[in-house]
Amino acid sequence: MPETNQNKAVKFFFILAFLTATTVSLPSSPDRFLRSASKYLRSPDEPQKYEEIRRPLPSDQLKPSCSHVLLRHSFANTINGPPFTTPYTPPSGCTSPPWCYVVLYLRAASSGDQYDRISGLWLGGVELLRTSTAEPNPSGIFWNVRKDVTRYSSLFMKSDLNITMMLENIVNEVYTGIYHINVTLIFYEFNPIASNLKINSRLGFMESQKRDQTPADMVIPLCDGGKRGFWFMIENPAETYSKRIQIPSNTRQIVLELYISFHGDDEFWYSNPPNSYIKTNNLATGRGNGAYREVFVKIDGRYVGSEVPFPVIFTGGINPLFWEPIVAIGAFNLPSYDMDLTPFLGLLLDGKSHEFVLGVNDGISYWLVDANLHLWLDHESSNVEAGSRLYDSPSRHMVRQEEFEQLDGSFRVEAEVHSEYDGWVKSSRANLTTMVKSMFKVDSLVRFEKNGTYKKVEQRVKTKRIIEVASESGKLVNRVVQQRTYPLTVITSTLRGLTNDKDMYLLVTNVSHAFNERHSAGEALTQISNRQDSEGWMEVEDHNVLAGEASTRQSLSYIDEASCYSRSIVAANGEIVEDSSTDSCTSSSSS
Ligand SMILES: *[C@@H]1O[C@H](CO)[C@@H](O)[C@H](O)[C@H]1NC(C)=O
Ligand SMILES: *[C@@H]1O[C@H](CO)[C@@H](O)[C@H](O)[C@H]1NC(C)=O
Ligand SMILES: *[C@@H]1O[C@H](CO)[C@@H](O)[C@H](O)[C@H]1NC(C)=O
Ligand SMILES: *[C@@H]1O[C@H](CO)[C@@H](O)[C@H](O)[C@H]1NC(C)=O
Ligand SMILES: *[C@@H]1O[C@H](CO)[C@@H](O)[C@H](O)[C@H]1NC(C)=O
């Protein structure tokens, strides 16, 4: 954007004003802010498109066979109300399963002033999408989310289900943004004469990796009753939620899929100092309990797995100007986390119900967590035999170091968790032993300097999961390895303005984070690397952003055995200033 003289003058004024000012300590930052309609912030004349940068879906190259409207609703002052619920009708006369792909297509629009909001979408209590909204402006914004929901195919022909969407919003004289949402399912038929080479090889891949790719025969929700949405709200480390679930006796494979989002005092959990720091310095903030969190799953009281979530930053988070019109990684389509529980079928296939428990280690108010159990059944038998080998609880190594004097100091957490489970399952096809090895490593450092006004957060999360399936003779029949890293750096400097108004301050912020994944299934390798670097400043009064400048640079690359995609994009002060992409596997993108 060409910088106008007025912009320059404004920028100069603020920088001068703040750099000569005394400092104020706000050690609770990063925080959540609302982009105001200030004349110093760009507000386009037309509704603007927001976007989360993702790779195109493989189905984008196919012709849809039909689409089916799930809901159309406007979420206005929905706070403290029940979720929006409407009966689901299967797509009659559309196509019949199995589908090659099913894609959920959400369109959203809003205008006015509004905070980002969290939202969940469920079908029969099974979560299909966890999403958050962008913060609108008076001229209006819109965006869409496309998500591959093929894995939930077994639900889409059922007729006794409700579709439910929770999006708690506040509309009054101050917050005027209403969120208008349309959700559609798009079905893609199997096309045996698909001429496109990429599609052919993709289908070939699906065949060879059947175990991994074929949608489950059944999906059972591990969720709350639904009066306030189907997620469990977890507000402290001692609070866990459980549901008794009976697993069909012909289950041959089970995968638990976790949906997680964090809010309130834990929205920036990765930057929270320990309570000792807050107490000693007499700080008013509730953002404490240290910077380590882990969402865990237990069955009948025993730990079966846990996840350190990817730190999704919502559009009001840290500096809202970073996230217009390109939102943070995962903000419109939060990742879910799969845990293969097949080794535990020896415990679960006794015809009795079992208690599945979800909780958050060290979590404070509040976390929204639920899960789906994906079950693959043996169609030739009503009884599958299974046995779990003995296992110990995970090996856990954790070091916490804290060192501070008044408002300056540093806090380190190093954690390493390993677990390993195996069990056999004898279906009518074969007696297969599944071995699941999981490891994650977290290194977190939160540092305060300059009397608490400079804060640097560095977090490195590494996870690795290996799933091996062996025949009775010990021959390896499948091996899946998933590795992820979530590097994150957040730097905030807080400066006070010339006026002695303690609610008015300047924040200079840098954020850089990435979601990297390497997934191999047999010979097939998929790699994703998605990184954002943002920098900028903003003037803030209370929680309203009055002025500022910001830029975000993102690069995404995706490679699988049949295709490549890369995109690099730069947004500055609310506009896209650079954007290039390629699906060529040989050359790198050039702008
Ligand atoms: C939702 O669908 C209706 C009817 O087709 C349309 O008028 C409206 O603009 C759509 N809203 C969004 C947010 O796409
Ligand atoms: C669907 O929702 C309606 C209204 O909330 C409720 O009365 C009904 O029992 C629900 N149906 C199912 C199958 O959950
Ligand atoms: C550090 O901050 C505290 C709290 O805002 C203030 O009372 C103190 O005077 C500051 N110290 C220095 C050296 O600026
Ligand atoms: C299945 O295989 C495992 C390990 O190879 C073995 O321990 C188990 O007894 C077998 N189960 C049956 C029912 O044959
Ligand atoms: C913020 O990022 C910019 C660009 O990467 C860099 O020049 C600057 O030094 C960073 N600021 C801090 C405080 O690290």
pLDDT tens digit sequence for 295-328: 999 999 999 999 999 999 999 999 999 999 999 9
Tell me how many degrees the CA angle 416-374-558 measures, rounded to the nearest 5: 65
Give 53 Cα–ligand 3 centroid separation in angstroms: 42
Which residues does 500 contact at the CB level (< 8 Å), separation at least 6?
none
Residue closest via CA to ligand 5's atom 1 equals 510
Using CA atoms, how far apart are residues 463 and 335, in angstroms rounded to an integer?
Answer: 14
- pLDDT value at 208 more than 70: no
- pLDDT value at 110 more than 60: yes
Give 431 Cα–ligand 4 centroid separation in angstroms: 6
- pLDDT value at 346 more than 70: yes
Question: Ligand 1 — pocket residues by CB below 6 A?
Answer: 72, 107-109, 180, 182
Q: Residue 488 is which amino acid?
A: L
Is residue 395 a part of any domain in this protein? yes
| CB of residue 383 inside a 6 A radius of ligand 4 | no
Buried b (16+ CB within 10 A) or exposed e, 316-342: bbbbbbbbbbbbbbbbbbbbbbbbbbb
Is residue 31 a part of any domain in this protein? yes
Using CA atoms, how far apart are residues 308 and 487, in angstroms rounded to an integer?
Answer: 12
For the chain, the residue count is 591
Ligand at shortest distance from the CA of 282: 3
Structure tokens at 415: 């954690």
| CB of residue 472 inside a 6 A radius of ligand 4 | yes
* Range of weakest confidence among 73-77, 91-95, 470-474: 91-95
**Considering the chain, what is the average pLDDT of its residues?**
90
Count of the separate structural domains present in the chain? 1
Give 450 Cα–ligand 3 centroid separation in angstroms: 9
Ligand at shortest distance from the CA of 26: 3
Substitution candidate for ligand 4 out of 342, 472, 475 with most atoms within 8 A of CB: 472
What is the 3-class SS of 116-167, one letter each residue?
CCEEEEEECCEEEEEEECCCCCCCCEEEEEEEECHHHHHHCCCCCCEEEEEE
Domain assignment of residue 236, given as a range? 5-582
Residue range 58-77, pLDDT digits in tens? 899 899 999 999 999 999 99
* Range of weakest confidence among 187-201, 273-287, 369-383: 187-201
Structure tokens at 298: 């237990």
| CB of residue 110 inside a 6 A radius of ligand 4 | no
Ligand at shortest distance from the CA of 489: 5
3-state secondary structure (DSSP) of residue 253? strand
Confidence at residue 147, expressed as pLDDT on a 0 to 100 scale: 97
Give 393 Cα–ligand 1 centroid separation in angstroms: 51
Is residue 287 a part of any domain in this protein? yes
Confidence at residue 42, expressed as pLDDT on a 0 to 100 scale: 76
Give 280 Cα–ligand 3 centroid separation in angstroms: 14
Give 64 Cα–ligand 1 centroid separation in angstroms: 20
Confidence at residue 520, expressed as pLDDT on a 0 to 100 scale: 96
Percent of the chain with pLDDT over 90: 80
Nearest ligand 3 atom to alpha carbon 23? 14
- Provide the pLDDT confidence category of residue 498 given band limits of 50, 70 and 90: low
Is residue 590 a part of any domain in this protein? no
- Of 314, 366, 419, 222, which is closest to residue 31 (Cα–Cα)? 314
Q: Give the containing element (helix H, strand E) for 205.
A: helix 197-208
Confidence at residue 414, expressed as pLDDT on a 0 to 100 scale: 98
Confidence at residue 393, expressed as pLDDT on a 0 to 100 scale: 76
- Provide the pLDDT confidence category of residue 591 given band limits of 50, 70 and 90: very low
Substitution candidate for ligand 3 out of 22, 25, 285 with most atoms within 8 A of CB: 25
- pLDDT value at 336 more than 90: yes
Give 339 Cα–ligand 3 centroid separation in angstroms: 48
Confidence at residue 25, expressed as pLDDT on a 0 to 100 scale: 45
Confidence at residue 30, expressed as pLDDT on a 0 to 100 scale: 84
Is residue 317 a part of any domain in this protein? yes
Confidence at residue 192, expressed as pLDDT on a 0 to 100 scale: 57
Substitution candidate for ligand 4 out of 426, 428, 468, 471 with most atoms within 8 A of CB: 426
Confidence at residue 499, expressed as pLDDT on a 0 to 100 scale: 58
Using CA atoms, how far apart are residues 336 and 452, in angstroms rounded to an integer?
Answer: 35
Confidence at residue 96, expressed as pLDDT on a 0 to 100 scale: 78
| CB of residue 234 inside a 6 A radius of ligand 5 | no
Confidence at residue 233, expressed as pLDDT on a 0 to 100 scale: 97
Is residue 339 a part of any domain in this protein? yes
Confidence at residue 500, expressed as pLDDT on a 0 to 100 scale: 61
Confidence at residue 501, expressed as pLDDT on a 0 to 100 scale: 65
Question: Ligand 2 — pocket residues by CB below 6 A?
Answer: 85, 160-162
Is residue 98 a part of any domain in this protein? yes
Q: Residue 472 is which amino acid?
A: E
| CB of residue 451 inside a 6 A radius of ligand 3 | yes
Burial class of residue 410 (count of CB atoms within 10 Å of its CB; 0-12, 13-18, 19+) = middle
Confidence at residue 98, expressed as pLDDT on a 0 to 100 scale: 85
Phi, psi of 293 (to 5 degrees): -140, 150
**Mean local confidence (pLDDT), 245-254:** 97
- pLDDT value at 1 more than 50: no
Phi, psi of 176 (to 5 degrees): -110, -10
Ligand at shortest distance from the CA of 108: 1
Confidence at residue 587, expressed as pLDDT on a 0 to 100 scale: 52
Structure tokens at 216: 């489950």
Is residue 309 a part of any domain in this protein? yes
